[in-house]
Amino acid sequence: MSTLTLKGPRWVTVRQHRRTLWALPAAAVVAFVTLAALRRLAQNGADLYPGSPDGPLRSVMSFAGMAMLLLPLIVGAFVAGPMVARELESGTYRVALTQSSTPRAWLAAKITVAAAAAVGSAAVLSGIYRFGWSPLDGTYQFSWADRGPYESIGTVVPAYCLLGVAVGALVGQLARRTLPAMAVTGLVTGLVMLVLSTLRWSFLPVRTVTGPLTGAPPMPPTGAFMKDVGLTTASGGRLPEGTCFEHTRRLTDCPADLDVVGRYADYHPAAHYWPTQSIETALVLALAALALWGAFRVLRARHS
């Protein structure tokens, strides 16, 4: 990151963390070159088993998906620890306050530099991830709704990185100790990601396809994300898919008293991807704004 157009606290912040900032584009270049080589290796392979030509690509992309999920936690921990809490713990922030810089400008510089670097890096890495993911799109564990691809090819990872920055700025001031601040920020950011991941498929109503009890099962459209399957009764009720099997040891041989007349499948179509991403991104940004407001409230209370 160039420091030529930066002044005051932002210039100081960039200078302090220039090695980390330079490491980000270097990591992106290494990731792109690695995936390009693996895609070339896999371009003639149609088999998806580990020993096939695209086996290494699948393994690396599984690791890449996990790395993308950890990125917001790493960003938040870095902001909370090295950028904020360490300076408060060591007292070096007082140097900035003696250079005609206000506490608000000091914290704002930390946040803006971290946010710009985090969002820019997340966007670039998301593009690189999509480049490696496209040959595997729709295969086992690499559909648009699977954990890893869902977050990495959309807008939620940059949003979670902003949340990590905001939570880090708040927790760093509250903890004022490097390691505790990093641990708490990672925990809070990860908890938010976990909660929203369990709620995201309830943002939009599922669609349902039904069919008779015998014959081919009801099939959602190609590429849909299956949420639930089961049995339907004459009264409109629903039963778990294995209900008849528990009584007769046959999936479609149902006792008369159950009054089963057909089967159903609930699903999210692929068209739900971007609306779900937009809703989750908006929720995360709202939480980030709340944490950011709290960070400046704490700053104002301690440095009025």
Distance CA 2, CA 8 (A): 14
Residues in contact with 33: Cβ distance below 8 Å, sequence separation at least 6, in sequence order: none
Confidence of residue 52 (pLDDT cuts 50, 70, 90): low
What is the pLDDT at residue 250?
A: 85
Q: Looking at the predicted structure, is the pLDDT value of residue 44 above 60?
A: no
C-alpha span between 19 and 259 (Å, rounded): 69
| Per-residue pLDDT reduced to its tens digit, 99-135 | 657 888 888 889 999 999 999 999 999 999 999 999 8
pLDDT of residue 97: 63
Which burial class, exposed, middle or buried, applies to 196 when counting CB atoms under 10 A from its CB (0-12, 13-18, 19+)? middle
Please tell me the distance from the alpha carbon of residue 127 to that of residue 157, in angstroms, as a whole number.
Answer: 12
Average pLDDT, rounded, for the chain: 88
- pLDDT higher than 90, residue 30: yes
What mean pLDDT do residues 145-149 have? 95
Considering the chain, what percentage of its residues have pLDDT values greater than 70?
A: 89
* Per-residue tokens: 81: 């620890």
Among candidate residues 72, 54, 20, the one with its CA nearest the CA of residue 287: 72
Proportion of the chain above pLDDT 90, given as a percent: 59
- Strand order of the β-sheet with 238-240 is 207-212, 260-268, 225-233, 238-240
pLDDT for res 100: 59
Q: Comparing 288 with 51, which gets the higher pLDDT?
A: 288
**How much is the pLDDT for 88?**
83
pLDDT of residue 18: 79
Residue 228 has pLDDT above 50, yes or no: yes
First-last CA distance in the chain:
33
